[in-house]
Structure 1
Amino acid sequence: MSTAGLLVAATLLLPLAMTALCVISAFRARALSLLVLAPIPALMAALWAPEGTLVFFPAPFRMTLTLDRPGALLLGGAALLWSAAGAFAAAYMAGKPRTAGFAIWWLLTLAGSLGTFVVADIASFYLVYGLVSLAAFGLIAHEQTARAQHAGTVYVVLALVGEACLLLAFVMLAAGSPEANPLIRDVVAKLPSSPMRDGIVALLILGFALKMGLVPLHVWLPLAHPAAPMPASAVLSGVVVKAGVIGLIRFLPFDSGLPGWGAVLMLVGIVTAYYGVIVGVTQLRAKTILAYSTVSQMGLLAVLLGISLGEGDPGGVNLVAYYGVHHTLVKGGLFLAVGIVAATGGARLRPVLLLTAILALSLGGLPLTSGALAKLATKPTLGYGALGMAMSVAAAGSTLLMLHFIATVAGDARGNAETVAPASEVVPWLVVALAALVVPWSLYPAVSGDPALSALQPDAIWKLVWPMALGGVAMLLLRRFRAVSGSIPEGDILVLAERCGPAVRRLGVGVEHLDAGLRRWPVAGLLLLCIAIALAGSLIAWR
C-alpha cells in the first residue's frame, strides 16, 4: 500500500484503534489529552494524498476508501477542527467528571465523521454514517442534565428515523447490482434509469437533510448544541452536519441531473436559509443563535446542491465543499470563542470580542474574510436574477443574526471578572480562527477559477457590502422590538408540538366522550339528520 493509501486508511483506523485502546486503564486515563492526535492522518491525507487515491481492504472486511476533491476539501477542514477542538477539550474538560467516557464518544464520533468523507462502498458508508449518528448522542447527553437528556433523546430518535430512510434507500440502490456491496459511484450511475428512482431520491434527501438540519428536520440542532460541552458543540455544528452534505454529494446523480428534485432541494434550502435567521434572532443564548445560524447556512448549501442537481453539473459539488470548509472553520471557531469569552474579562476581553466579531461577520460576507470569498464564489452559480437576489437578502439575514450573536456574547461577558482564559484553550481557538481567515484564500483560485485578488475589486466588494448594510439596518430596527427576544423557544416547532400534545390528547378524549354520549342519546341521530337537511336546503336555496 502506498504512503497516500496508508494515510487514507489511517484516517479511519487511528481513531478506532485509540477507542479500542481505551479498554486499558492507563490509556483511558490519558485519552482526553491524546484527542488532538486522532485526526492528524486525515489532515495529512487531505493535504498530500493525490486525488483518486483508492484503498481496498481484503475480505472479510470488503471496505473501499477513496479521496476525491470534494471529499478532500471537507476532510481537511473537518480534521483541522477536530484536532484543534480536541486540544481545547483536553483543557476545557480537565478535572470534570466522566472524561474517559467523553473521550470514547469523541473518538467514535470522530471516526464516523471522517469516515464519511473517504468511504466509497455502500455498506461501509452506512456503517460509518451510523457511527457518527449514534456516537454523537454521547457528546450531546454528556452533561446528564435534564436539558442534555432531552436533547440527546430527540437527537437519537431523529437519527434513527434518518438511518431507517437511508437503509431502505441503500437496499433499493443495491438491489440491481450483481455485487453484494457495490461501490457508491456504480449504483449512483444507474440511479437515473431505475424504476424506483423517485422513491430512492426522496429517501436519500430525507435521510441526509435530517443530518444537515434542513427545515423541518432541523429541530435537533438548537436543542443539541446548547446542551453539549463547548468543544463538542464546535464539532457538532462545524463537522457532524457535513455528513449530510457529503451524503448528498455522494449519492445524488449530479452527472445526469434531476431537474425536479433539484427544484425541491432549492425550495427547501431557501425556506431553511430564511427560517434559521427568523427564529435565530429571537433567541437569548449565544450557542442557540449559532445553532440557528448553522440551520440557515445549511439552507444555502442545499440551494447550491439543488442548482447542480437540476443542471446536471457535477463540478458544482466542489463549490459546495469549498463553502462547507469555510463554514466548518468559522462555526467551530465561534463556538470555541463562546468559551473563551466566558473565561475572559477586563481589558483582555476587547481583542477577544473583536476577533469573535470578525469571525461572526464573515458568515455575512465581511470583505477580506473567508466568508467574502465563499459568497463571491457562489455568485455565478446563484446568478443575478430572482434567486441571486433572494440569497443576497439571506446574506443580509446572516449579518443580522451575527450582529445579534455579537450583542448577546458581549452582553453576557459584561460582568466578567478581570480574568484571562487559559493558554491551553486560547491557542486552539486562535489556530481555528487563523485557519478560517487564511485557508479559503489558498483554495479560492482552484475552486472559483478567478485569482484571489479579484475579491478586492470594487464591484466585488459592493456585492458584499450592500447585503451587510441591509443586515445592519435590520438590526437597528430589531432592537426597537424588545418583545421579539425569547418569543420562540429553542427547538421551535418541536417544543410547540410538545406543548400542544396534552391539549391535543385532551381534545381527542373529549371527542371520544362526546361521540360515546351521542351514541347513547337517540335524539342525536335525529338532530344530525335535521342539520344535514338544513344544510342541503341552504345550498339549494343559494344556487
Structure 2
Amino acid sequence: MIASLPMAELLVGVGLATPALALVACFSQLVRERIWLLLALIPLPALAAAIVALLVLGQGDIANGEVAAIALLFDPNGLAIGLVIDRPGAAMLGVTALLWAAAGLYAAPMLQASSHRSRFTLFWLLTLTGSLGVFIAADLVSFYLFYGLVSLAAFGLIAHDGTVFARRATGLYLLLAILGEIALLLAFALLSAASPEPSLAISSLVAGLSGSPWAGPSMALLLLGFALKIALVPGHVWMPLAYTAAPFPAAAVLSGAAVKAGVIGLIRFLPFEAGAPAWGELLVVLGLSSAFYGVAIGITQRNAKTVLAYSSISQMGLIAAATGSALRAGESAAVLLLTLYAAHHLLAKGALFLGLGVVADGVTRRRWLVLMPAVLVGLGIAGLPLTGGAAGKLALKPLFDTALLGLLSALSAAGSTLLMLHFLRRLWVSGDAIEPCASGVFRRLLPWWLMALAALLLPWLLLPWLGLGAAQTWLALSLSPADLWKAVWPVLLGALAMLALWRWGERLPRVPPGDMLILGAPLTRLMSAVGAGIEALDRGLRQWPVAGLSLLILSLLIWGGALNAY
C-alpha cells in the first residue's frame, strides 16, 4: 500500500495539531512577530492528511465492509470522543486546507504593511483551527468546540480594518453567530438527553433522533443553527456586510471554507437514513427561496465583494434545497453528492475573492490575467460544461428528482449565470483608477491562479476518491447531447438576462448590503451597541499575551466542562 492506515492516522493528528501549536507558539514575542510569514505553510499537514486519508479509504470497498473511516478516539465510559475522517470529511478537509494555504500566501504582503498583523494572525489561526477540525469531529463536544472557533473567532477577521462599516458588520455577525450557537447547544442537549446510551458520538445520537420524544424541537434547533451559518433567508443579512468588510484573503476563507461548517453540520446531524419528509420539504422551500433571493438582490449591488456575497447566499440556498430533497427521500448516499458540490463552491468562491483582490489591490494592470480565468470559474458556478462546476451540477441532478425541482434548479443556474456575469462586469471596473501595487505581485497572482485551476479541475479528480465513479464516465455523461443541452440552456438564458441588465439595469433600485436591515431600525441600534462593545474588546485584544492566554483557557474550560457534564 502506498498509503497506510497508521500513516493516515498520524497525519490527521498532525494536521489538526499544527495550527493549534502555532497558536501556543505565539505566546513567544519572537514567534508572534514572524509567524504571519508561515500562514501558507501551516495548513499543509492537513492537506497531506486529507490526501492520504482519501487514498486509504479508496483502497477498500466501503459497501463490502472495508475501511469506511479513519478514527482517532478515546473512549472514557463509552463516550467515544475524538476525530473521525471519512470520505466527505477528507474531501472537505483537503479543499479547505488548500484554500487556507492559498489565502495565507496572498495575505503575507498585506500583513507585511499592517500594524495589526499579530492580532490578525491570532484570529486567523483560531478560525483555521476550527475550520479544519469541524470536518473531522466525531463527537458533540469536539464538534461544538471547533464549530464555535470557526464561527466566533472569525469576528476578528471581519473587524480587521476598524472602519465604522466593519464594526457594524462585526456586530451583526456576532449577534447572529451567537444565536446560532445557542440553538445548536440546545439541540445537542436534546440529542444527548434522548440517547439510550451514554455516548457523545454524533453517529449514535443521530441514529436515535427519529425515535426521540424531542425529535421535532431537535430538528428545528438544528436547522435554525445551521441555517444561520449558511445564510439562508431571512438569516442571511450578516453575509453581505461581513464579506464586504473583511480583507480579501479573509473574505476568501470565510466565503469558501468557514461557511462550509454549516454544510458539514447538515451532513453530520440530519437523519438521512431514516428520512424526515416534512423537514426536508421545509429545507427545500427555504433553500430555493434563498437561491432566487440572492440573485434578485445581488444584481442591484455595485460592490463586487457584495455581489459575491449574494452569490454565496444563492449557492448555499441551492445546497440546502438539495439537502432537503435528500432528507425528504431518505437518501443517505446523497451526502457524497452534496460534498462534491460543496467542495466545488468552496474552491470557486475562494478563488473569485482572491482574483477580485488581485484587481482591486492594483496587483496588475493586466486585468485580463484575472478576467479570463474568472470567466471560467464564475460560469463554472452556473454549471458551464467542462468546468468543475459541471461536475457539481451533475452531482445534484439526482436530488432534484421531480419536474418542478428540475426546472427550478435550472432556473437557479440561469440566475447564477446572470449574477456571475454581473460580478465579472464589476470586477473589470473595480480596478479603474487604482495605482499598481509595488510589492508582492507574484505572491498574490500565484494563489489566484492556483485556486482558479483547482476550481476547474479538482471536482473531477474528487469523483473517484469520493467513490462516485471514474471522472471519464461523468465527463462522457456531461457531454451527451441531452445533458449538454440541460447544462447549456440555463447559461444562455442567464447571458440573455445579462444583456437586459446591461441595458436597463440602472433603473433597478439600489438595495443596501444586508437588504432586510433597512426594515429593522431597532436591530440597527442593537448592532451599533454590539459594535461599540467589539471596539472595546478590540482594544483589549491588542494586549497580546493576555488575549491569547484568555482565549486558550476559555476553550479548554468549555471543552472540559462539557465532558464533566457527562
TM over 0.5: yes
Give the 3-state SS of the residue equivalent to 1:150 in structure 2: helix
Task: Indicate whether 1:277 and 2:295 are aligned.
Answer: yes
Among 487, 490, 495, the residue aligned to 1:472: 495
Task: Indicate whether 1:442 and 2:461 are aligned.
Answer: yes
Deviation of the 1:348 alpha carbon:
2.0
2:73–2:80 CA contact under 8 A, matched in 1: yes
* C-alpha RMSD of matched pairs (Å): 2.1
Q: TM-score, normalised by structure 1?
A: 0.88
* Paired residue type of 1:27: V
Task: Indicate whether 1:4 and 2:21 are aligned.
Answer: no
Deviation of the 1:342 alpha carbon:
2.1
User: For residue 104 of structure 2, what is the aligned residue in structure 1?
Assistant: 86
Q: How many residues in Structure 1 have an aligned counterpart in Structure 2?
A: 502
Q: Relative contact order (C-alpha < 8 Å, sep 6+): which is higher?
A: 2
Q: Deviations over 1:235-265 (max 9, x none)?
A: 1000111000000111111111001101011
Report matched runs for 1:305-344 at 5 Å.
305-344=323-362
Among 434, 443, 446, the residue aligned to 1:424: 443
- Classify 1:216/1:346 alpha carbon distance in 2 versus 1 (closer, same or farther; 3 Å): closer
User: For residue 513 of structure 1, what is the aligned residue in structure 2?
Assistant: none
Task: Indicate whether 1:190 and 2:208 are aligned.
Answer: yes
User: For residue 476 of structure 2, what is the aligned residue in structure 1?
Assistant: 453
Report matched runs for 1:28-47 at 5 Å.
28-47=32-51
Give the 3-state SS of the residue equivalent to 2:232 in structure 1: coil
Q: Deviations over 1:352-411 (max 9, x none)?
A: 211112211111112211111211222232136011001100100000000100111112
Q: Which runs of 5+ in 1 are unaligned?
A: 503-543
Q: Which runs of 5+ in 2 are unaligned?
A: 58-68, 526-566
Among 17, 24, 29, the residue aligned to 1:20: 24
Give the 3-state SS of the residue equivalent to 2:154 in structure 1: helix
Deviation of the 1:181 alpha carbon:
5.1
Q: Distance in 1 between matches of 2:207 and 2:416?
A: 37
Q: Distance in 2 between matches of 1:409 and 1:381?
A: 33
* Paired residue type of 1:197: A
Task: Indicate whether 1:164 and 2:179 are aligned.
Answer: no
User: For residue 157 of structure 2, what is the aligned residue in structure 1?
Assistant: 139
Q: Deviations over 1:292-327 (max 9, x none)?
A: 000000011001111111111111011111001100
- Classify 1:500/1:78 alpha carbon distance in 2 versus 1 (closer, same or farther; 3 Å): closer
User: For residue 112 of structure 1, what is the aligned residue in structure 2?
Assistant: 130
Report matched runs for 1:220-235 at 5 Å.
220-235=238-253
Deviation of the 1:3 alpha carbon:
2.1
* Paired residue type of 2:40: V
2:180–2:228 CA contact under 8 A, matched in 1: yes
User: For residue 73 of structure 2, what is the aligned residue in structure 1?
Assistant: 56
Q: Distance in 2 between matches of 1:276 and 1:19?
A: 37
Q: Distance in 1 between matches of 2:142 and 2:365?
A: 51
Deviates most, 216-225 or 353-362 = 353-362
* Paired residue type of 1:257: G
User: For residue 507 of structure 1, what is the aligned residue in structure 2?
Assistant: none
* Paired residue type of 1:130: G
Q: Distance in 2 between matches of 1:499 and 1:47?
A: 49
- Classify 1:48/1:337 alpha carbon distance in 2 versus 1 (closer, same or farther; 3 Å): same
- Classify 1:501/1:300 alpha carbon distance in 2 versus 1 (closer, same or farther; 3 Å): closer
Q: Deviations over 1:15-60 (max 9, x none)?
A: 1110111010111111111111221122112111234100024769
Deviates most, 412-421 or 120-129 = 412-421
User: For residue 167 of structure 2, what is the aligned residue in structure 1?
Assistant: 149
2:161–2:247 CA contact under 8 A, matched in 1: yes
- Classify 1:178/1:16 alpha carbon distance in 2 versus 1 (closer, same or farther; 3 Å): farther
Q: Distance in 1 between matches of 2:127 and 2:119?
A: 12
- Classify 1:235/1:270 alpha carbon distance in 2 versus 1 (closer, same or farther; 3 Å): same
Give the 3-state SS of the residue equivalent to 1:55 in structure 2: strand
Q: Distance in 1 between matches of 2:363 and 2:7?
A: 47
Report matched runs for 1:341-356 at 5 Å.
341-344=359-362, 348-356=366-374
Q: Distance in 1 between matches of 2:74 and 2:152?
A: 24
2:81–2:201 CA contact under 8 A, matched in 1: no
Task: Indicate whether 1:173 and 2:196 are aligned.
Answer: no
Give the 3-state SS of the residue equivalent to 1:348 in structure 2: coil
* Paired residue type of 1:355: P
Q: Distance in 2 between matches of 1:380 and 1:465?
A: 18
Q: Distance in 2 between matches of 1:451 and 1:478?
A: 34
Give the 3-state SS of the residue equivalent to 1:182 in structure 2: coil
Q: TM-score, normalised by structure 2?
A: 0.85
2:99–2:253 CA contact under 8 A, matched in 1: yes
1:333–1:429 CA contact under 8 A, matched in 2: yes
* Paired residue type of 1:478: L
* Paired residue type of 2:7: T
1:322–1:447 CA contact under 8 A, matched in 2: no
Deviates most, 260-269 or 377-386 = 377-386
Give 1 or 2 for the bigger CA radius of gyration. 1
Q: Distance in 2 between matches of 1:101 and 1:193?
A: 47
1:341–1:353 CA contact under 8 A, matched in 2: no
Q: Deviations over 1:440-470 (max 9, x none)?
A: 1212354367443332333322111100111
1:284–1:486 CA contact under 8 A, matched in 2: no
Give the 3-state SS of the residue equivalent to 2:115 in structure 1: coil
Q: Distance in 2 between matches of 1:347 and 1:159?
A: 39
Deviation of the 1:414 alpha carbon:
3.6
Give the 3-state SS of the residue equivalent to 2:383 in structure 1: coil
Give the 3-state SS of the residue equivalent to 2:72 in structure 1: strand
Q: Distance in 2 between matches of 1:485 and 1:411?
A: 19
Give the 3-state SS of the residue equivalent to 2:121 in structure 1: helix
Deviation of the 1:145 alpha carbon:
0.9
- Classify 1:24/1:178 alpha carbon distance in 2 versus 1 (closer, same or farther; 3 Å): farther
Task: Indicate whether 1:498 and 2:521 are aligned.
Answer: yes
Report matched runs for 1:394-405 at 5 Å.
394-405=412-423
Q: Distance in 1 between matches of 2:152 and 2:512?
A: 26
1:282–1:487 CA contact under 8 A, matched in 2: yes
User: For residue 506 of structure 1, what is the aligned residue in structure 2?
Assistant: none
